[in-house]
Amino acid sequence: MDNWKRLAELMVEVQIIARDVKDEAVLSAMREVPRHVFVPEDCVSDAYIDRPLPLGEFQTISQPFIVARMTELLSVESGMKILEIGGGSGYQAAVLSYLGAVVWSLERVGELVARAKNNLAAADIKAHMIWKDGFEGYPEEAPYDRIIITAAVDEIAQTWMDQLTENGLLVAPVKVSDQVERLLLRKKNGEDKWFEYCRFVPLMHDIQKERLT
């Protein structure tokens, strides 16, 4: 896609800045990480529009605004360790890595893990993609400065909170009513702040490794 830089700039101006995302580092990441690399081939022409796109196996890549907003809420600093639960195609991990974070990203669908690794390599961005159920987190590399959940959850598991550093933050879409979620920022000390309403696919327990159709 030869014109992706122009499309990414338009995406940032119209979809993200216009909706009050202000962090300059996040805006730069959204401009510079090639989103089209992280979507299926038949969705490349829609890579920079303001909506989620299907990845197969009932999984999606979130709309650009939501990726930017959740990233901004994390207050990422270079060198931070971040755990992502719900890795998908690797795009959120790529944005976090662009900001200088060291990212471990868990994904339950084996084929998506393989695809995400290829996507990250194609974009020349490094992140650790791991085939694993996300409900138990990833204690092997804990503690983390930040945790981001990129699928809808009914509640925040204590297991995740236990894997945060003393000043850690967690961001997740939490169900507040039937088929409605809202972005939650929770500090290690239990303090909560609520943000935009949103829609995500639910976080699932089962591990899958069959090929996607």
* Residues designated catalytic: 62
- 134-168 per-residue burial string, b: 16 or more CB within 10 A, e: under 16: beebbeeebebbbbbbbbbbeebbeebbebbeeeb
Residues forming beta bridges with residue 171, ordered by sequence position: 148, 185
Q: How far is CA 165 from CA 10, 71, 85, 102, in A?
A: 37, 18, 17, 15
Tokens 């009914």, residue located: 154
Element (H, E) at 153: none
